[in-house]
Chain A
Amino acid sequence: MEILDLPIIGFSVETNQYQKETLASDNYHYNINKDIEISATPFVYNQFIASGDYSKFPSIVSKISLALKFSADMHYLIGNVSPNYYDILGACGWGLYNTMPESVIVENDSPSIINVEIGTDQVHVFRVLTSIGMLTDCYYNRKPATIEVAFPEFDIAPRQHVTTMYGGMGTTIFRGKTGSPCSIEFNFLGCHGGYSTRNNEDIIVPSGFDTVLPKSLMSATAYLHNTVIYIDDFEITCGNVLSLFSDIFSPNGYNGTRITDRFATGVLKVHEDSNNIETVYNKIKNNDTGTLTITNGGLALHCSGVQLKAINDECTKYSIDINNTMSLAQEVI
């Protein structure tokens, strides 16, 4: 039977942490079906015993982990409801809260680029919790998820072939390229929950999708160190360190993944005429920290504690370090 390369993602934060959830149709409401990669990694112990010609005996398979990668286009809130992909951010060390960082200005969705400050209860804002300094708040760092990738068959009564991860946590990469929507790449690591097949009468059909179309990165405005820069594209990596914890009692040898550290970095590709090499050099030399804000038609990505890390010969590519604080704001439309 031919299996179509049209997978859908099912996702649920685990009610009982590190225990596999049973997913239903409303767990499949993500319009995410691109750049999906699945990679299972068995931990194999090769036995070399000096008793034969090649000293090789059957290997022992033990721990098995699963890595998942997929991307979502970033789009607006619907009314005052978060986009569905916000759930997935929750398992990547992001926490939902309802107050705006003072320095974040959410841009109005209009060609004239009028900056409008949004009041406290009108938007949902995600912010990466700092990895050092907020030790008392363990909660958002412990939202492991069960994730399924379901591939349909091409048939009159198609089945679904499902790969399952549980106890998974992830990290994110935000990308923007002029002419395309901004996207979030999710990289998850977790326990291998096995492969299964749903018969036709049991296949899960998504309950619905977000209908808001993502905006292309066209009129983005970026500020670095309170200075306007003109960007061609950018990539901001949250840099969560995903540690897969072993458990010899667990059937697959793993208990689940925890985020144990974070090294947020990014790369900005800028127009030459927006640079001043002397200024940039001094910022690097003086350990200056600033902020980075990129707004694009209702989306605002804000990073504080940004330090310039490197700049290329043509002054068109900045590498940055981010001191663990990022926020993503979205305008209500």
Chain B
Amino acid sequence: MPVLSYEGNSVTLPQPVSVSTDIELPFDIVTLDDGTKLRYDNGEQYDKRVCKCCFHLTPIQQLNLNTFLYTTARANQLTLDAESDGFHPFAPDKGDGGNFTVSVMISGTPSIMTFPFRYFKCDLIIQNTGSYPAYSLPSEVDEGSWDFGTVENLNYPQAGFKPNMFYSVSISHTENSTPYYIDRSANADYASSKMILNCNESKAAAVLYYLTHTVRANAFILDTRSYFIIFGIDYEDGDPKYVIINSNKIIVNQTGYDNWTIELQLAIDFTQESR
């Protein structure tokens, strides 16, 4: 059971009923005039991880939590101990045990429900504000055949890929429908793709550690195998591609026992790949 504590006072919560974590990466992404994208990484110490989780609390538990947050430890940093019980507040690569330094806010005003009967639905926003407790990644359990950088044997994303091929050609039409093409050259074309990875805990931890610790704003090699068509058919030659993270946010959801989703956006790194 997760325990929030402050200067010798603590409150114990039940296990959350839903957990989502936003990983905000401190990347400055700049698109140059020719379409080339440059990235600057401010560094891992500027990563932000925010946990949005929901608890079902009895009236007594809700009152105790309110008293703790807004009287006992009002406006102070807290310690969160997830007690190695499966609740990973800041994604599986940061573990579920040890003491996290956090700030906690209740989102809105919890309301009592009839289903479950006489329980409050309490949404918390928990942000990590200190260094993370030591955690060893779990041994990887293979579950597919897709290689994601150096993390091997992942599942095919069950919702597929949403490629976005951008051609830097636009058309202006005069009143008599004469077209004028503005072509910034193929150098300004790019291709990105959104995807939701479906992983077990070990693979989710490995992927997130790889993305947020190992590669970050740098390019890594992605297996773009037959029929995956990750970045659109123009870029489907079957060869692995150098890719980069193309957004500042990765959203991690725990969807069930040993099931995680990771929402992210990747783009082909055209500094290393030909168009």
Within B219-275, the residues touching A (CB, 8 Å) are 225-228, 256-259
B158 touches which one: A245, A250, A262 (CB < 8 A)? Answer: A245
B62 CB, nearest partner CB in chain A, Å? 18
Within B139-179, the residues touching A (CB, 8 Å) are 141-146, 155-156, 158, 160
- Does A246 make an interface contact (CB < 8 A)? yes
- Does B96 make an interface contact (CB < 8 A)? yes
Asked if B144 contacts A18 (CB within 8 A), the reply is: yes
Asked if A132 contacts B15 (CB within 8 A), the reply is: yes
- Does A139 make an interface contact (CB < 8 A)? yes
Asked if B96 contacts A135 (CB within 8 A), the reply is: yes
Asked if A138 contacts B200 (CB within 8 A), the reply is: yes
- Does B138 make an interface contact (CB < 8 A)? yes
- Does B198 make an interface contact (CB < 8 A)? yes
- Does B61 make an interface contact (CB < 8 A)? no
Total contacting residues, chain A, CB less than 8 A: 26
Interface string of A234-246 (1 = CB under 8 A from B): 0000000000011
Asked if A134 contacts B155 (CB within 8 A), the reply is: no
> Across the interface, which residues of A come within 8 angstroms of B202, CB to CB?
138
Measured CB to CB, the nearest residue on chain B to A255 is B144
Asked if A245 contacts B160 (CB within 8 A), the reply is: no
Measured in the bound complex, the distance between the Cα atoms of B171 and A304 in whole Å is 69
Within A107-162, the residues touching B (CB, 8 Å) are 131-136, 138-139, 141-142
Measured in the bound complex, the distance between the Cα atoms of B228 and A255 in whole Å is 14
> Across the interface, which residues of B come within 8 angstroms of A131, CB to CB?
257
Measured in the bound complex, the distance between the Cα atoms of B198 and A292 in whole Å is 36
B257 touches which one: A132, A139, A255 (CB < 8 A)? Answer: A132
> Across the interface, which residues of B come within 8 angstroms of A18, CB to CB?
142-145
> Across the interface, which residues of A come within 8 angstroms of B146, CB to CB?
247, 249
Within B116-148, the residues touching A (CB, 8 Å) are 138, 141-146
Measured CB to CB, the nearest residue on chain B to A134 is B86
> Across the interface, which residues of B come within 8 angstroms of A17, CB to CB?
141-143
B227 touches which one: A138, A249, A262 (CB < 8 A)? Answer: A249
Measured in the bound complex, the distance between the Cα atoms of B242 and A39 in whole Å is 43
B contact face: mostly helix, strand, loop, or mixed? loop
Most B-side CB within 10 Å, residue of A131, A133, A262: A133
Asked if B138 contacts A248 (CB within 8 A), the reply is: no
> Across the interface, which residues of A come within 8 angstroms of B143, CB to CB?
17-18, 142, 245, 255-256, 258
Asked if A247 contacts B144 (CB within 8 A), the reply is: yes
Measured CB to CB, the nearest residue on chain B to A256 is B143
- Does A37 make an interface contact (CB < 8 A)? no
Asked if A245 contacts B258 (CB within 8 A), the reply is: no
B142 CB, nearest partner CB in chain A, Å? 5
Asked if A255 contacts B201 (CB within 8 A), the reply is: no
Measured in the bound complex, the distance between the Cα atoms of B156 and A139 in whole Å is 20
Asked if A136 contacts B96 (CB within 8 A), the reply is: yes
Measured in the bound complex, the distance between the Cα atoms of B96 and A245 in whole Å is 27
- Does B85 make an interface contact (CB < 8 A)? yes
> Across the interface, which residues of B come within 8 angstroms of A138, CB to CB?
138, 141, 200-202, 258
> Across the interface, which residues of A come within 8 angstroms of B96, CB to CB?
135-136
Measured in the bound complex, the distance between the Cα atoms of B202 and A255 in whole Å is 18
> Across the interface, which residues of B come within 8 angstroms of A260, CB to CB?
256-259
> Across the interface, which residues of B come within 8 angstroms of A248, CB to CB?
156, 160, 227-228
B262 CB, nearest partner CB in chain A, Å? 15
- Does B42 make an interface contact (CB < 8 A)? no
> Across the interface, which residues of B come within 8 angstroms of A259, CB to CB?
257
Asked if B142 contacts A255 (CB within 8 A), the reply is: no
Asked if A245 contacts B155 (CB within 8 A), the reply is: yes
> Across the interface, which residues of B come within 8 angstroms of A262, CB to CB?
257
Measured in the bound complex, the distance between the Cα atoms of B31 and A10 in whole Å is 59
Within A245-302, the residues touching B (CB, 8 Å) are 245-250, 255-256, 258-262
A329 CB, nearest partner CB in chain B, Å? 24
A309 CB, nearest partner CB in chain B, Å? 15
Measured in the bound complex, the distance between the Cα atoms of B258 and A261 in whole Å is 9
Most B-side CB within 10 Å, residue of A16, A133, A248: A248
> Across the interface, which residues of A come within 8 angstroms of B228, CB to CB?
248-249
> Across the interface, which residues of B come within 8 angstroms of A249, CB to CB?
145-146, 156, 225-228
Within B180-228, the residues touching A (CB, 8 Å) are 198, 200-202, 225-228
> Across the interface, which residues of A come within 8 angstroms of B258, CB to CB?
135, 138, 141, 260
- Does B84 make an interface contact (CB < 8 A)? yes
Interface residues of chain B, those whose CB is within 8 Å of chain A, are 15, 84-86, 88, 96, 138, 141-146, 155-156, 158, 160, 198, 200-202, 225-228, 256-259
Q: List 25 A-B contacts (CB under 8 A).
A: A16-B142, A132-B15, A132-B86, A132-B257, A135-B86, A135-B88, A135-B201, A135-B257, A136-B84, A138-B201, A141-B258, A245-B144, A245-B158, A246-B156, A248-B156, A249-B145, A249-B225, A250-B145, A258-B143, A258-B200, A259-B257, A260-B257, A260-B258, A260-B259, A261-B257
Taking A18-B144, A142-B200 as given, write out 19 further A-B residue pairs in contact, using a Cβ cutoff of 8 Å, ordered by the A residue number: A17-B142, A18-B143, A133-B15, A134-B86, A135-B201, A136-B84, A136-B86, A136-B96, A138-B141, A245-B158, A246-B156, A247-B144, A247-B146, A255-B143, A258-B259, A260-B257, A260-B258, A260-B259, A261-B257
